[in-house]
Homo-oligomer: A and B are copies of this chain.
Amino acid sequence: MKIIQASSEIITATPDLEQVIELAGRVCWKSEDKICDGSAEKLIKFLKGKNHASVMEHGVITVKIVCDRGVSHELVRHRIASFSQESTRYVNYSKDKQGGGITVIQPCFWGEGTAMFHEWKRACQQAEETYLAMLDNGAGPQEARSVLPNSLKTEIFVTANVREWQHIFELRCAPAAHPSMREIMIPLQEKFAKYWPSIFGDHLDA
């Protein structure tokens, strides 16, 4: 059993994302003649102020997230997005296939030396043992997965437009969000803010 930490990575995005959003917005008002250096950032600020969020949808960003199955179950509830997720039906975590049994995500709320962490690790190992024994005894991965814990690592591609990413960050970085969700989303928002400050940099102003 491997224990790893949750993570995220930007895979790809609309090239010249701010400029595409500007161009889309200027089609609405036929003001393409106003495009110049810095005009995209200015228009985006204006759109945000007016809550003309639909224009933001022309910018699209794809991210790969590594998280546990509890987080991914929440994540796929965002319906204005596209997902491709590691399948517990088709992937076989037996030792010889993925080399080393299952992988689990270390819970961010329990320090490594704590009793809770120890208990959690032991429980995950027990689950893995049963899973592997079941496979040995002829169960398929999609059956044996029954015993796998919520902490099981999963990988998921998420493609969403800027408007939806803004909505995701609003919900998933908030104090009310699950700690394992926030652990992923807060640093991801930081990355977005670095690439596209006029769009995702707002929370830095506070």
Contact = CB atoms under 8 A, between A and B. Distances in A.
A15 to B, nearest CB: 6
Contact of A58 (B27, B82, B126): B82
A15 B16 contact: no
Counting chain B CB atoms within 10 Å of each CB, the highest count among A24, A151, A156 belongs to: A24
Task: Say whether chain A's binding surface is mostly helix, strand, loop, or mixed.
Answer: mixed
A176 B159 CA distance: 26
Nearest to A73: B73
A39 interface: no
Nearest to A80: B79
Contacts of A58: 62, 82, 84, 157, 159
A76 B69 CA distance: 13
A30 to B, nearest CB: 5
A89 interface: yes
A178 B27 contact: no
A12 B19 CA distance: 11
22 contacts: A11-B23, A14-B60, A15-B15, A27-B155, A28-B86, A29-B87, A30-B155, A54-B83, A55-B84, A57-B159, A60-B159, A70-B88, A76-B77, A79-B79, A116-B134, A123-B126, A126-B127, A127-B149, A142-B178, A142-B179, A146-B151, A149-B149
